[in-house]
Amino acid sequence: MEEFVVYILFSEKFNKNYTGFTSNLIERFKSHNLLAAKGYTVKYRPWEVVYVEFFNSKNEAIKREKYFKTGIGREFIKELIESL
C-alpha cells in the first residue's frame, strides 16, 4: 500500500513556509532544495522540513493539505513556526 505525506517546509533565511503532499518525501525534499530549476520553492532555498503527517490515501492527504492552506491551517503553521 502506498503512503502519502503532507509536509510543511520552512525557509528561515526568508521566513517563508510551503505546504505540499507527496508519496516520496525524500525525493520531493531533494527537488525543493536541489533539483528544481523553477517555481516558488526555488526562490526561497534552503528549506527544512518542520512538520509531517502520514496518510493511507491520496484523497486524505489532499484534504489535509487544503486544510493547511485555509485561515485556520495557516494559523496552525504560524504557531508551529513560532515555536521552533
**Residue 3's pLDDT band (cuts 50, 70, 90):** very high
C-alpha cell at 71: 485561515
Distance separating alpha carbons of residues 31 and 7, to the nearest angstrom = 14
Structural domain spans, the chain:
4-82
Grid cell locating 52: 509531517
pTM of the model: 0.94
Residue 66's pLDDT band, with cuts at 50, 70 and 90, is very high
Average pLDDT score over residue span 6-33: 97
Report, as an integer, the average pLDDT of 21-46. 96
Distance CA 58, CA 67 (A): 14
Residues 47-60: pLDDT tens digits? 999 999 999 999 99
pLDDT in tens, 36-50: 999 999 999 999 999
Instruction: Return the CATH number of 4-82, one of 3.30.230, 3.40.1440, 3.20.20, 1.20.120.
Output: 3.40.1440
Dihedral angle at the C-alpha atoms of 55, 56, 59, 61, nearest 10 degrees? 10
